């Protein structure tokens, strides 16, 4: 095997460094057509909330941190 076995591509390497799908950051972004798009750094979660407050609540539910 070559020394390239750890990472198939630079992209995969960067993704791994970023947390490899970990829920380290969530975003709540207003849409032009109304509502707020909520997304997570894990790239497995994306929902549309009716308000920024709801979006933040959903984000906390997603990450499982009910504290605060």
Q: How far is the CB of 9 from Zn ion (least distance, A)?
A: 23
CB-nearer residue toward Zn ion: 14 or 24? 24
CB-nearer residue toward Zn ion: 3 or 68? 68
CB-nearer residue toward Zn ion: 8 or 68? 68
In this structure, are residues 52 and 36 in contact, taking their beta carbons and an 8 Å threshold? yes
In this structure, are residues 40 and 18 in contact, taking their beta carbons and an 8 Å threshold? no
In this structure, are residues 23 and 42 in contact, taking their beta carbons and an 8 Å threshold? yes
Residues of the shown chain interacting with Zn ion in the complex, contacts defined by CB under 5 A: 23, 40, 42, 45
């Amino acid at each position: 095997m070559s020394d390239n076995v750890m990472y198939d591509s630079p992209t995969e390497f960067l993704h791994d460094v970023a947390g490899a799908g970990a829920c380290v950051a969530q975003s709540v972004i207003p849409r032009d057509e109304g509502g707020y798009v909520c997304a997570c750094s894990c790239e497995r979660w994306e929902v549309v909330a009716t308000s920024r407050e709801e979006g933040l609540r959903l984000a906390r539910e997603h990450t499982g941190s009910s504290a605060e």
